[in-house]
Structure 1
């Protein structure tokens, strides 16, 4: 009986030791520390020791008390070894998984799971060092800030997640798809052929055409894509990324499928830098001037107001377009100084209009930066005083995209400005991302229908229906309507029939300096009599 007990204890202990061999070898494979290899060797040595003691027990005639004690020690020793080794393996695997996850997190975006900027730059450097031609594509989500401001960051984040899934699903496996920040993504493509790049971009645009459903809300978006080529355009990471960024903004400007960088775009970037460096001196040297375009009543074409449009004349007789220098000014505090100058100049020019017998309203364009400026209301108060009657003669025109740029701050500033007596008009209505319910919440008094709808109104039922519906809805919101881009008598008569309140365009007058604008208005007034 004692012989069987001792032998069973040794055999079970040997089984424990044999059980510990596999996990100990796994530990050695995971952790290269020599201590684990030494432990594995000891375990294998224990196997021979256990076998030798088991043979000894089989050969002796009578098991002594000390033999039973040794057998018991070997049993618990084997149990101890297997427990320690398995617990050690589990701990090492856990630590290894945590380290692996941390390594993954360090190189991947937490929201989308895509490689992050650090990982992207590492792969980009490796691709450059490999000396094989490739293309870098920079993707930027259009109107993402407006989406965040209007419906919230949660929906914006979910939009990015779903968008990343869709794009990843249609990309070839060898393409590295990364998110480098905000709404910017990159692709590294192992081809520089225009057909291949166009095919990938076309697939991306097609994938985004289907609305993305997020908790019952349907969102539609698009991307602007800029391309730079290595080694054709550059062989340095920062320069390649900058060139792709320049091309991406060209794609955004043209609303094209993609834009490939070229030296001409680089010259444009240099020209913009030159304009930026000249803006402040142009303001100090009084180089800007205001031109005014008439806004007339639809029924009788009498003058109702004038839109003030800033111009920057050059010494050679040409002009730098506001569409070029205003966005550049918006990137710095110069835009605030320009806006102050415009307001002061418009007050002076309106006095000249009054002296000429034309007490009409002046429409002034406000930029997104103006609407977000926390001091804009304070400046208005300093310029006009509290609830000035003069303020009622000025209408601030704001675009839909400008209103969406920082909704809460914009709403606060618009409300405070409206209390001073100013009115607001939504410029280029129909081209932005606003909603009619939002317009009801803001102090909007007027809607200006974008010229693209007016100019195409005679060409199709769709544009005509849009114009008719916009006029109806604006009136329902107690807003007057101005139609921009009126260039023919036919369009003017049709707008009158549709109930449009006011009209503006080359059919009545182009934008003119104040003296010529006064003369043209006086001549028009005489001809109407």
Structure 2
């Protein structure tokens, strides 16, 4: 404290050295009590600055966590918006975005439009829960059978789309044969064994088509296939 008093004299806050006994009061409880107002203000200001700095740091840390959490939630919402809740596959929105990206490539490739045959009968006879189970099994089977470079999505109901980037018609035909083999194995759900047929339409991208037109051509090919046989393959290049 004597050093502090000397410093205060040097900077002009005190005109002359004050005896330490006059500067501090020694309480009977042996606790030092500061009675100089300016000293109390300095101490209070220091404490206030420290508290304010701590508060700002906590606020900044909390804000950073809230921003990170919000970004995570937005990412999850975006994922949910582009995923089919039943099968976990990309949905129609995600598919159309992917097709628009693909047609900008030098070799967009082929689309396989897959539709289950007489799927309504399964829902009517065994219930929608059984039908949903079959759709989930189908999604797992085909996802396991195709390569990672392919894009498999659920369009709606029992309609699925397989995008084959850079594939020609012959290669797409080979993939379709694989899908038919995958679908040939019976489906088992809740003690029931069912055979499910599939119709496949193939469309090779033609210059100038939009993503919607490409999908329509594959859809037409699939409906032509339904009139031929349950698991036949129709190729349509335009």
Q: 1:217 maps to which residue?
A: 192
Q: What RMSD in Å do the two structures reach over aligned CA positions?
A: 2.4
Contact 1:202 1:257 in 2 (8 A): no
Contact 2:83 2:89 in 1 (8 A): yes
SS in 1 for 2:103: helix
- TM-score of the two chains, using structure 2 as the length reference: 0.72
Give the distance between the partners of 2:60 and 2:188, measured in 1 at CA.
50
* Secondary structure, counterpart of 2:112 in structure 1: strand
In 2, the alpha carbon distance for the partners of 1:251 and 1:184 equals: 14
Match of 1:157 among 110, 132, 135: 132
Q: Which residue of 2 aligns with 1:239?
A: 213
* 1:77 to 1:119, Cα distance in 2 relative to 1, 3 A: same
Residue equivalent to 1:101: 76
Extract structure 1 runs of 4+ deviating beyond 4 A.
none
Distance verdict in 2 for CA 1:262–1:67, change over 3 Å: closer
Cα deviation code 1:288-322 (max 9, x no counterpart) = xxxxxxxxxxxxxxxxxxxxxxxxxxxxxxxxxxx
Report how far residue 89 of structure 1 moved: 2.1
Distance 1:88 1:125 in 2: 37
| CA 1:217–1:91: 2 relative to 1, 3 Å | farther
1:72-83 correspondence to structure 2 within 5 Å: 72-83=47-58
* Cα pair 2:110 2:169 within 8 Å, conserved: no
- The 8 Å contact of residues 201 and 257 in structure 1, kept in 2 or not, is answered as no
For 2:175 and 2:45, locate their aligned partners in 1 and report how far apart those are by CA, in whole Å: 73
| Equivalent residue runs for 1:19-418 within 5 Å | 64-231=39-206, 235-252=209-226, 253-261=228-236
Shift of 1:262: 5.6
**CA contact under 8 A between 2:206 and 2:237: conserved in structure 1?**
no
**What per-residue deviation string (whole Å, max 9, x for no partner) do you get for residues 435-484 of structure 1?**
xxxxxxxxxxxxxxxxxxxxxxxxxxxxxxxxxxxxxxxxxxxxxxxxxx
The superposition leaves residues 208-263 of structure 1 with CA deviations (integer Å, 9 ceiling, x where unpaired) of 3333333433333232110011127x623333222212211232322344210167
Matches within 5 A, 1:9-20: none
Question: Which residues in structure 2 correspond to 1:469-488 (within 5 Å)?
Answer: none
Tell me which of the two structures has the higher relative contact order, counting C-alpha pairs closer than 8 angstroms and 6 or more residues apart: 2
Check 1:188–1:67 CA distance in 2 against 1; reply closer, same or farther (3 A cut): same
Partner Cα distance (2:69, 2:211) in 1: 37
Structure 1 unpaired stretches of 5+: 1-63, 264-529
- Cα–Cα, structure 1 residues 193 and 130, in superposed 2: closer, same or farther, change >3 Å? closer
Tell me by how many angstroms 1:111 deviates: 1.8
Q: Please give the secondary structure, in 2, of the residue aligned with 1:226.
A: strand
Partner SS, residue 110 of structure 1 = coil
Cα distance between partner residues in 2 of 1:240 and 1:228:
7
Number of aligned residue pairs: give it: 199
Give ranges in structure 2 of 5+ residues lacking alignment: 1-38
Query: Is contact 1:115–1:177 with CA below 8 Å preserved after alignment?
Result: yes
How far off is 1:67 after superposition?
4.5
Shift of 1:201: 1.8
SS of 2:193's partner is strand
Distance 1:262 1:196 in 2: 13
Query: 2:23 aligns to what?
Result: none
Query: Take 1:66 and 1:209, find their aligned partners in 2: how far apart are those partners?
Result: 86
Question: As a proportion of its length, which structure holds more helix?
Answer: 1
**Secondary structure of the equivalent of 1:208?**
helix
The normalised TM-score by structure 1 is 0.35
Partner Cα separation in structure 1 for residue 68 and residue 194 of structure 2: 43
- Whether the aligned pair in 1 keeps the contact of 2:111 and 2:202 (CA below 8 Å) is yes
Contact 2:117 2:199 in 1 (8 A): yes
Distance across 1 between alignment mates of 2:170 and 2:145: 17
